[in-house]
Structure 1
Amino acid sequence: MVGDYGRKLEFGVFATPDAEQVERLLRVATVADERGLDLLGVQDHPYQRRYLDAWSLLATIAARTARVRVFPDVASLPLRQPAVLAKAAASLDLLSGGRVELAIGAGAFWDAIEAMGGPRRTPREAAQALTEAIAVIRAMWSEERSVRVAGTHYALSGVRPGPVPAHPIGLWLGVLGPRLLAELGRSADGWVPSSSYVPPERLADMHARIDEAALAAGREPARIKRIYNIFGSITAQSHGFLQGPTRQWVDQLTELVLEYGMDTFIFGTEGDDLNQITTFAEEIAPAVREAVADERAD
């Protein structure tokens, strides 16, 4: 266990970009916005024929909502050229009044990426490309007259960056390996693991790698946001981790904050169940905020 970083808590929903369920998907966005959730994340799998394009969907959601912030969870870097990705994020941030964050990943499902015309990268190449992409994105969001970034996979050669985002967009990484966890500690603003890949017992070691690199770079680890994609079901009876009644959810999420270092929870439910999302927003999120505030006050 790593303990509490003391960060502000946020809650959101993990929406499935199913092209055959457009009206339900837009309803999920409306519910998230109206019920006070902070974030809405959308998977980015361009090679998945059933899925809508993530950026088109995020733009539509931003236009139909008033307060919820949107982000790709996470953008597939091998199919998203980082300079253009930075411009897209900055543009949507301006158009939405500062309601965009950016989460990126090094890549997965390499057969599908290659089939769509993207590069097939080794783990080392993927890590190097992501590190270079971070520098490119930061440069494209700067107010410099022109910027240069040297790189093997991505480079800038005197391009004029812009537009500058409406607010300091969070640059979050969906990474798991030690090399990229260290890079996250050095240069990123947040970490986005999923409970299906990283159960609570694995979090401490990964936090430690991030924190060690952050301290070595002169950064305070508590500056780094810890976003957890969580998948489960709110049910009458307990069936295990995040499978049970509201009280169990409150207790387990509170423990994830105070003992396991997470501060933001993005809820994915089977079939984008609107009742589950509403319960999460109206009952679970406020109760977790209250429980954590009480513990922090002691």
Structure 2
Amino acid sequence: MSPAASSRLEVGIRIPLGAPLPELAAFAAEAEQAGLDGVGVPDHHHTGRDAFMALAAMAGRTERVRLFPATSNVVTRHPLVLAALTSSVDELAPGRAELTVAPGFLSVEKAGEPRARRERLRQVVLALRGLLGEGRAELDGHPLELFNRPAGGSRVTVLASGPRLLELAGEVADGVLMLVGLHPESVAAAREHVAIGARRAGRDPAEIEETLIVPFGVGDAAGARAWIQGWFRPGQPWLRYPSASNLRWLGHAGITLDPDYHPDDVDDATADRVADAFGLFGSAEACAERLLRAREETGLSRAFLFPAHSWDTTYHLPRAEVRAFGEVVGPALRAAGC
């Protein structure tokens, strides 16, 4: 086991804006009681519910879990607004608020705006770190100031799945939230890109806090294959959601799929290999074993469970996954000293 795996494994989970805020807050409390360590809420404006309002409601019902948007974007929210929202959540949950940003996906798409370019993301992340750290930053030649901010600062993490965004995270962010699968060769290749970016900026790669996004599908073998062999939404295979970079990392695991592959062409044997390389699929017991193996093989220290879903089930609360963690996965981690 690598040195990174000597500390306790922290596990968070995605909770979408699929219910009224009081219900979301109560569900976050259930996740905490199940032993989870963090809750990430997608910042999807089109739901008619605000992610930071949800996090604020969750702050009042929880005592321990980290709270963060998973993720927000730098297009529909100005960095000063993002910093103020993060600071406000921190006042409700001291030391537990974090900020995760990306170029934008569904919220940006629904707003009819293009995703942020990498250079813009770089500028905004640096501004956010300044605002949430020293309380000062500059953006577009204009000075920014945040009068009230978290006493100990708040980490700014970049969501990344492609090589260039991984390198950008290494250059400018406090942490990286990586969707690259669980296979040790895939994780090693992704880590090297983060390290390239860190070294380019004169930073120590070890200072970048790493969290692996872990797709999580509880069920039988047929159910696991159904995700791999299915569609996220018409025209978008499930394995290309949220990024086609998923195929790159499967390639490092020795699994080659054509960029324009059709899900129906993925046979059962290949689907089983993909499921094992990409995340946690199968019974709760099998998921626990796979997470422990990833811990052993990669030195995983932080995992963010990403319950498997399609467009039609994007906003379903992950009740089965939280239950599986509380009853099986969490106890297995504790029994293994994790």
How many residue pairs end up in the alignment? Answer: 274
The residue number in structure 2 matching 1:205 is 189
Matched, 1:284 2:270: no
The 3-state SS of whatever aligns with 1:94 is helix
Q: Which amino acid aligns with 1:61?
A: M
Cα separation, partners in 2 of 1:256 and 1:189, compared to 1, 3 Å: farther
> What aligned pairs does 1:25-44 form with structure 2 within 5 A after superposition?
25-44=24-43
Cα separation, partners in 2 of 1:8 and 1:169, compared to 1, 3 Å: farther
The residue number in structure 1 matching 2:84 is 87
2: CA distance, partners of 1:204 / 1:81: 34
Could you state the TM-score of these two structures normalised by the residue count of structure 1? 0.79
The residue number in structure 2 matching 1:232 is 216
The 3-state SS of whatever aligns with 1:163 is coil
The residue number in structure 1 matching 2:319 is 274
Asked whether the 8 Å contact 2:76–2:108 carries over to 1, the reply is: no
Unaligned runs of 5+ in 2: 225-271, 310-315
CA-to-aligned-CA distance 1:250-282 (integer Å, 9 cap, x gap): 221122223235322222446324343133134
2: CA distance, partners of 1:93 / 1:110: 24
CA-to-aligned-CA distance 1:122-166 (integer Å, 9 cap, x gap): xxx61111100112112212346xx45253xxx532x43331203
Q: Which amino acid aligns with 1:251?
A: E
Percent sequence identity is 27
Q: Which amino acid aligns with 1:11?
A: V
Asked whether the 8 Å contact 1:90–1:163 carries over to 2, the reply is: yes
Matched, 1:96 2:96: no
Cα separation, partners in 2 of 1:53 and 1:261, compared to 1, 3 Å: same
1: CA distance, partners of 2:282 / 2:150: 41
> Deviation of residue 80 (structure 1)?
1.1
Asked whether the 8 Å contact 1:234–1:243 carries over to 2, the reply is: yes
The 3-state SS of whatever aligns with 1:214 is helix
Q: Which amino acid aligns with 2:146?
A: P
2: CA distance, partners of 1:175 / 1:104: 9
Could you state the TM-score of these two structures normalised by the residue count of structure 2? 0.71
Q: Provide the aligned C-alpha RMSD in A.
A: 2.8
The residue number in structure 1 matching 2:294 is 256
Asked whether the 8 Å contact 2:43–2:50 carries over to 1, the reply is: yes
The residue number in structure 2 matching 1:105 is 102
The 3-state SS of whatever aligns with 1:192 is strand
Asked whether the 8 Å contact 1:73–1:104 carries over to 2, the reply is: yes
Unaligned runs of 5+ in 1: 294-298
1: CA distance, partners of 2:4 / 2:131: 30
2: CA distance, partners of 1:66 / 1:277: 17
Among 28, 44, 49, which residue is 1:52 paired with?
49
> Deviation of residue 72 (structure 1)?
0.2
1: CA distance, partners of 2:157 / 2:18: 24
Asked whether the 8 Å contact 1:142–1:161 carries over to 2, the reply is: no
Asked whether the 8 Å contact 1:14–1:229 carries over to 2, the reply is: no
Asked whether the 8 Å contact 2:128–2:137 carries over to 1, the reply is: no
Cα separation, partners in 2 of 1:114 and 1:35, compared to 1, 3 Å: closer
